[in-house]
Structure 1
Amino acid sequence: MKLALDLTSLCRRHTGMEYYALNLSRALLETDGKDEFHFFFRREIHPELQAFANRAVFHLSPFGSQVATEQVWVPGMERKIKADLIHFPAFPPGLLSKTPKVATVFDSTLWHKTERLSWKAKTYFAPLAGRALKKSRKILTISASAKAEIAAATKIPESKIAVSHLAPDPIFERPVMGEHKQAVRTKYTLPERFIFSVATLEPRKNLSGLLDSFSRLVGKEPEARLILAGRLAWGKEQVLKRIAELKLEKQTQVLGYVPKEDLPALYALADFLAFPSFYEGFGLPVLEAQSVGTPVLCSNTSSLPEVAGNSVFFVDPHVGESVTDGLKKLWSDEALKKDLIQKGKENVFRFSWRKTASATRAVYEEVLNG
């Protein structure tokens, strides 16, 4: 097969979709020795894939514009190379794309959580994603929960949607050495003990609710500290305002985007991960924390029970006292944390990028042979 992957959304600052596109591409190249791969990039050929130059043909867009690249250059390139199939792992296909295609849709937010979308997502991304559902031969998504919700929200038959789970980045497979942890602690001026939360600063992540519950914890445990890491998106003003309203400036640090090289140490230094999101298509921070032996508190909603199994402390993100009680228990109960650490180590072994690549390639074959 001659397979093309649209990696034009990849940049140096990765969030969930970009991590997926990068790690899936790498795993496909590591596990598939017979197909011909063509990767499309914008701005630069990603440094982490340059080592695979002998396994794939790299194409770089001449356009700086995202719209021109997606809507003009990619459709032209897929025709030029005569691809058998093109996969859009992070962004929907352009309007002129004619090649048999697979598109990854991460969750149903675009169709039934619209009040939590940015203006750009509503006016540009959502219409393209809706068209992708109709025009793609097959849709990939990242959890059974997301599959059911996408089908319900869009009326697309579930038979058209396949699931391939995520997994932690390979960087989480390496031991987190003591000197690296100390360097990260110094870099971010971290306290001795802290709760860690990783999430893009946007409403569906429920960071304002987390802050409310954390404020109640501080009332009982004045030494408690909260570290927030994640891209400063369109909900950042709400989060920063809530920190000020609750007078938590001294107890809370907002790190913004953190390079992935620092993430394993940040997780490892934390007492536990707090992840009370309203909605997730998958919930990768759960597995990232468990990979380095950090216990997890997370929501009992959407995909998170599927991903976490019985390995976390579940809370109801819609009930403030539920989150508060969870924070209090994990802050003070060492036996509970020890139990969750062991369960987390067992849970994370259920997921790997090799499994994801295998499931994805099976979808490619189904599309071309079906």
Structure 2
Amino acid sequence: MLPPVVRRGVRPAGPRGAGSRNPGGDHRRHRVGRGGRRRRRAGPSRSSGPPGRRPASGARRRGPGRGPPRRRARAGRHVQLGAHRGVDRRDLPDGDAVTRVLVNLLWLVPGVVGGSEESTTDALRAVADVLDRDGSGGDLDIHLAVLEQFAHAHPDLAERYDLVVADQDGRDKRRRVWAEQTWLAARTRALRPQVVHHAGGVVPFVHPGRTVLTIHDLQPLDLPHNFRPAKRNYIRLMAARSARAADIVTVPSRFTRERVVERLRVAPARVEVVPWWVAPPRHQDTSEPFPLPPTLGGDRFVLYPAITYPHKRHDVLLDAFALVAARHPRLRLVLTGGAAASESAVQARIRQPDLDGRVLRTGRVPAAQLESLFAAAALVAVPSDYEGFGLPVLEAMVRGVPVVAAAAGSLPEVARPEDLVPAEDVAAWAAAIEAVLAESTDARNARIAGGRERAAQFGPERTAAALLTAYRRAAAARVPT
């Protein structure tokens, strides 16, 4: 076990009585749902705790220029975190005055888990923004259980939520899963939340409190041939058990809701759709855009940002692009994203004579470079035939880039009807791409405006409202059995 250390003002749980020189002490101050702000109590202020103790795990140390801490109205009991701590019954909610929510993010290894990291962290940003703006979160006290590097990867969330930090980085998957089954249960009993949100698709075997479960998709069940036997069998065993254990299940789309209801036999009334949204690029204040790959040489290009899983259907796009490329000698195709099971087939197809030199396979690229690619692309193509939501489609529309997407999975819920193409129809894909390339400036601008209008339907308010509804329903136990 690693010793607890101070990290951006966030301290993991440890022995009691710790402060800045003994990190990991008592958990004193709890941020509420209103973006981390506290309501000042009328009358004399009360002490942050008994004399001689310092703020501890999850407490926020005030930096230069910050005034005295603002507190929320008295909520009842005090919570102590850590293996050696008891519970002082002063700062937990009295009755239903405040609902404490713990969000389990121990599955979230920054930079590794893909789109689910973006969707989850953006949802938490939406919750903080909406509650901070309209003041409706006085009944919520939200905490995040995270890995060590979370605060570094998402410093804005570390500033807005209290973090309960596990002393591991998540690289050892077995150790991380074990922490979910043991460490998390202990911290949950200490913090005593009314609701625990397991945002990674699995509810641990030991799960105190009312439970909200997020299922991003059911690919391992619907497309078992795309996964290794170990993962396929693990998900098959855990998905149904987790869904039965949850009071509320959240999903990003109606498509995924239907799959969960059918596959896992969950009562429809227990499944809440919490659609994803796309936050504006966080690096947009940089003075210079990230340079495009020099091999593009100023040519127009089609962009597909996707890891090479079989269901992403790079094969369909490559075959369609070969037809288009024959008539557009200065057109290129750019494929970003990591390598997966279809990588060797993709590489072999790229080397065929009809595509030789016309496809740029970049692999993973920095976020800033991906933004530059979005900005310069003639269009974004998304031929995937199975998506739990379809984030690349929304990302493109938010950024004002024309989209062509497969009429499969959840994509029809996100894309405009006129931007959809039959998933496996190569000729239709070639025709759709050429139609976008041939548009006049006015027609292209109208397409972009229509995409932005569609994307506006997936805003942060909608995401936050749906997620908060799930929390409140679980806390109130208004859930069909």
Normalised TM-score (structure 1): 0.90
The 1:103–1:191 alpha-carbon spacing in structure 2 relative to 1, beyond 3 Å, is farther
Pick from 46, 57, 62: which aligns with 2:151?
A: 46
Residue of structure 1 equivalent to 2:330: 223
Q: What is the CA-CA distance between 1:176 and the residue it aligns to?
A: 9.0
1:18 aligns with 2:18: no
Residue of structure 2 equivalent to 1:96: 206
1:146 aligns with 2:256: yes
Distance 2:414 2:283 in 1: 18
Distance 2:120 2:379 in 1: 28
Residue of structure 1 equivalent to 2:104: 6
Distance 2:214 2:367 in 1: 23
Where does the alignment leave 5 or more consecutive residues of structure 1 unmatched?
none
Distance 2:389 2:263 in 1: 17
Cα RMSD over matched residues? 2.4
Q: What is the CA-CA distance between 1:254 and the residue it aligns to?
A: 1.4
Q: How does 1:183-262 map to 2 (within 5 A)?
A: 183-186=290-293, 191-245=298-352, 248-262=355-369
8 Å Cα contact 1:85/1:101 also seen in 2: yes
Distance 1:188 1:287 in 2: 27
Pick from 279, 291, 295: which aligns with 1:169?
A: 279
**Greater relative CO (CA pairs within 8 A, separation 6+):** 1
Residue of structure 1 equivalent to 2:167: 62
Q: How does 1:113-152 map to 2 (within 5 A)?
A: 113-152=223-262
8 Å Cα contact 2:261/2:267 also seen in 1: yes
1:274 aligns with 2:381: yes
1:76 aligns with 2:175: no
Pick from 23, 30, 40: which aligns with 2:129?
A: 30
The 1:314–1:52 alpha-carbon spacing in structure 2 relative to 1, beyond 3 Å, is closer
**Cα displacement string for residues 86-129 of structure 1 (whole angstroms, at most 9, x for unaligned residues):** 11223412222233211111223232222223445313334322
The 1:97–1:235 alpha-carbon spacing in structure 2 relative to 1, beyond 3 Å, is farther
Greater Cα shift, 8-17 or 94-103:
8-17
8 Å Cα contact 1:88/1:101 also seen in 2: yes
**Cα displacement string for residues 216-269 of structure 1 (whole angstroms, at most 9, x for unaligned residues):** 212222222000111223332222222224563411111222333333321110
Residue of structure 2 equivalent to 1:317: 423
Amino acid at match of 1:110: P
8 Å Cα contact 2:296/2:332 also seen in 1: no
**Cα displacement string for residues 135-157 of structure 1 (whole angstroms, at most 9, x for unaligned residues):** 11111011112212221222222
Normalised TM-score (structure 2): 0.71
Q: What is the CA-CA distance between 1:350 and the residue it aligns to?
A: 0.8
Distance 1:76 1:189 in 2: 54
Tell me the SS of whatever aligns to 1:216.
helix
**Cα displacement string for residues 36-60 of structure 1 (whole angstroms, at most 9, x for unaligned residues):** 2221112323335434546422122
Tell me the SS of whatever aligns to 2:319.
helix
Residue of structure 1 equivalent to 2:83: none
Residue of structure 2 equivalent to 1:367: 474
Distance 2:293 2:384 in 1: 29
Tell me the SS of whatever aligns to 1:102.
strand
8 Å Cα contact 1:21/1:90 also seen in 2: no
How many correspondences in the alignment? 366
Distance 1:72 1:226 in 2: 47
Q: What is the CA-CA distance between 1:321 and the residue it aligns to?
A: 1.3
Distance 1:119 1:260 in 2: 32
8 Å Cα contact 2:381/2:405 also seen in 1: yes
The 1:13–1:334 alpha-carbon spacing in structure 2 relative to 1, beyond 3 Å, is farther
Distance 2:100 2:322 in 1: 55
Report which of the two has the higher share of helix.
Answer: 1
1:287 aligns with 2:394: yes
Where does the alignment leave 5 or more consecutive residues of structure 2 unmatched?
1-98, 132-136
The 1:324–1:100 alpha-carbon spacing in structure 2 relative to 1, beyond 3 Å, is same
8 Å Cα contact 1:176/1:268 also seen in 2: no
1:326 aligns with 2:425: no
**Cα displacement string for residues 46-83 of structure 1 (whole angstroms, at most 9, x for unaligned residues):** 33543454642212212453222233222222222112
8 Å Cα contact 1:172/1:291 also seen in 2: no
Amino acid at match of 2:330: E
Distance 1:176 1:269 in 2: 17
Amino acid at match of 1:44: Q
The 1:173–1:184 alpha-carbon spacing in structure 2 relative to 1, beyond 3 Å, is closer
**Cα displacement string for residues 137-191 of structure 1 (whole angstroms, at most 9, x for unaligned residues):** 11101111221222122222211111011111231795897x41xx331578564
Tell me the SS of whatever aligns to 2:300.
coil
8 Å Cα contact 2:299/2:332 also seen in 1: no
Greater Cα shift, 133-142 or 217-226:
217-226
Distance 2:210 2:471 in 1: 10
